[in-house]
């Protein structure tokens, strides 16, 4: 069982930045793919970004087109934590952001994700 706890959400003006964190309670954290999804009111949960082990000391990162160049995902295996650095935020980034975990690679399909955090609200004012 994997427990995920997000933090770092809040209210920010358009153009601003936020950093989300997700702490995982799992012994083999380095072997898990970690990701972020978001869900705006009235919309489906959508993929934002993921990071997963691709061999050796290399981790592969993946981004939705809507956040490429603005968001950066990273992880600290010593702290069992994954981060999402968000910059140049737009009103359309407003959503509840969920941390996700899967063994191996993180799928873009929300219904196939094994583990979820409780979510953290990000509100971008225009």
The pLDDT tens digits of the residues spanning 67-115 come to 999 999 999 999 999 999 999 999 999 999 999 999 988 999 999 999 9
**CA–CA dist 106, 34 (Å, integer):** 6
Sign of the alpha-carbon torsion through 6, 23, 37, 58: positive
Where residue 59 falls among pLDDT bands split at 50, 70, 90? confident
Select from 76, 103, 2, 90 the least CA-distant residue to 38. 90
**CA–CA dist 64, 87 (Å, integer):** 15
Burial of 72 (0-12, 13-18, 19+ CB in 10 A): middle
Question: What per-residue confidence (pLDDT) applies to 87?
Answer: 98
Residue count of the chain, please give it.
126
């Amino acid at each position: 069982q994997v427990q995920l706890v997000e933090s770092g959400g809040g209210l920010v003006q358009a153009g601003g930045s936020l950093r989300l964190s997700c702490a995982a309670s799992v012994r083999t954290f380095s072997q898990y793919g970690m990701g972020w999804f978001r869900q705006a009111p009235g919309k489906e949960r959508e993929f934002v970004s993921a990071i997963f082990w691709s061999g050796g000391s290399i981790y592969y990162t993946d981004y939705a087109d809507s956040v490429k160049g603005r968001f950066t995902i990273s992880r600290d295996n010593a702290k069992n934590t994954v981060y999402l650095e968000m910059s140049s935020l737009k009103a359309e980034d407003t959503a509840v952001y969920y941390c996700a975990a899967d063994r191996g690679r993180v799928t873009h399909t929300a219904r196939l994700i094994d583990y979820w955090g409780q979510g953290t609200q990000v509100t971008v004012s225009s």
